[in-house]
Amino acid sequence: MQPDDDFFRTVLRHVSEPLSVLEPSAGSYRCVFINDAMFALTGTTVNECVGKLLEAYYPPDALARTVPFLDQAITSRAPVVVEETIHTPRGDFLSVIHLTPVFNDDGGCRCIISIIHDITERRRAERALHVSEDRYRSVIEALEEGISLLDADGVIQTSNASAARILGLRTDQITGTTSFDPLWRVIGEDGAPLPPDVYPTVRTRLTGQPLSNVVFGIEKPDGTVAWLNTNTTPLFHPGETTPYAIVASFTDISERRRIMAELREAKEIADAANRAKSEFLTNMSHELRTPLHAIIGFAELLRDDIVEEEEERHRCLSDIHASAEHLLSLINDILDLS
């Protein structure tokens, strides 16, 4: 930099990011300017670096890494971005270094401006976010419940392994499809085809309202039908009313429906058996009691009309009457218990 650049020196000195200016010199690079932020970062003084070649104050390993990028900036005539760990008296930190070449009118490189951005906290936050995402992804993958994420256009962006298992597909076959894809043949609980515009994901996307416990069937590639109990939840950006994504969660209730159907069938069979038993008992009550009542009635008439000298016949009719009364009592008890 020349003496007439004092104004720019003043501006650069007060830039908040660490900044230095390097000039090509005899196959190397000479430091011609360092701002206050760079002094504070490195702990160096003007005498230690300004006016000196990089070899004079750069550690050999750092020099070996840096010079090729400086050469690249000149050769490509374009800025070069380098990610580097910088060692300072304050400790090590991760940085992004922007190397921007400045050229003279004749095309020669006048200097390279180096600006350092401390990205230590950003990288730490990114790593923490990555760990958090991995943790939640692991939880979602471990769920027995199928999970799919759809974007604002209804395109499935990702699904967990359970979703693929329930639908009888691979995750890559699901990704990129929409509710209107011919891949899906959806039926309602009545067995009739379900129009796509009433699918829960479509309704939530259009209305912005969540839906719960929506039951429908999807025909799988093997021809069987998976019955799903589905919930949909819209996701919104702050202050917006149109969802930018939809989360669909679904459970395979096919086995539950099969068991419930078997229970209903068993109940219908039991009800029919009970009705048949009731009809049988009603008929039996009539068929058994009617002749017994006749036997008892006629026995009473005959017994009461017998004169005293017919004592033996009287005794026999009394036995018939008593036996019939006893048999009627037993039949009544049996029919009442049934």
**209 pLDDT above the threshold of 90:** yes
**Per-residue pLDDT at 234:** 96
Rounded mean pLDDT of 133-156?
89
For the chain, the C-alpha Rg in angstroms (whole number) is 47
CA dist 247 to 150, 161, 200, 218, Å?
Answer: 6, 15, 11, 18
**What would the DSSP string read from start to end of 247-264?**
EEEEEE-HHHHHHHHHHH
Q: Does position 272 have pLDDT exceeding 50, yes or no?
A: yes
Closest of 83, 100, 81, 93 to residue 42, by C-alpha:
93
Percent share of the chain, pLDDT over 70: 85
Task: For residue range 61-73, list pLDDT tens digits in order.
Answer: 888 888 999 999 9
| CB atoms closer than 10 angstroms to residue 336 | 9
Mean pLDDT confidence for 185-207: 89
Contacts with 24 (C-beta within 8 Å, 6 or more apart), sequence order: 30, 74, 109, 111, 112
At residue 86, the pLDDT reads 75
261 φ/ψ angles, rounded to the nearest 5 degrees: -65, -40
- Note the pTM of the prediction, 2 decimals: 0.55
Per the model's pLDDT, the better-predicted residue between 196 and 306 turns out to be 196
- Give just the sign of the alpha carbon dihedral 141, 213, 181, 133: negative
CA atoms within 13 A on the CB side of 3: 0
The tokens for 48 are 């230690």
3-state DSSP call for residue 227?
strand
35-57 confidence digits (pLDDT tens): 888 877 777 777 788 888 988 88
User: Which is nearest to 328 in space by CA: 318, 303, 336, 313?
Assistant: 336
| Residue 76 CA: distances (Å) to CA of 68, 105, 170 | 12, 17, 45
| Most confident listed range (37-46, 73-82, 90-99) | 73-82
Q: Please report the pLDDT score of residue 335 as a whole number.
A: 66
Which position has the token pair 């049988």? Answer: 280
Q: Using CA atoms, how far apart are residues 65 and 85, in angstroms rounded to an integer?
A: 11
Looking at every residue in the chain, the average pLDDT score rounds to 83
Closest by CA to 152, choosing from 209, 211, 210, 201, is: 201
Task: Work out the pLDDT band at 306, boundaries 50, 70, 90.
Answer: low
Asked if the model's pLDDT at residue 303 lies above 80, the reply is no
Q: Is the pLDDT of residue 284 over 70?
A: no
Q: Kindly tell me if the per-residue pLDDT of 1 is higher than 50.
A: no
The average pLDDT across 184-194 equals 86
CB atoms within 10 A of CB 242: 11
For residue 5, pLDDT over 70 is answered with no
pLDDT tens profile 212-270? 999 999 988 888 899 999 999 999 999 999 999 999 999 999 988 888 888 888 888 88
What are residue 86's DSSP bridge partners?
93
Q: Which residue has the tokens 């011609």?
A: 32
Mean pLDDT value across residues 309-321: 67
pLDDT higher than threshold 90 for residue 278: no
Q: Residue 3 above 70 pLDDT? A: no
Copy the structure tokens of residue 167. 């639908």
Q: How far apart are CA 206 and CA 217, in angstroms?
A: 22
The encoded tokens of residue 334 equal 């049996």
Kindly state the tokens that stand for 303. 């017994």
- Cα torsion angle, 267, 272, 278, 284, sign: negative
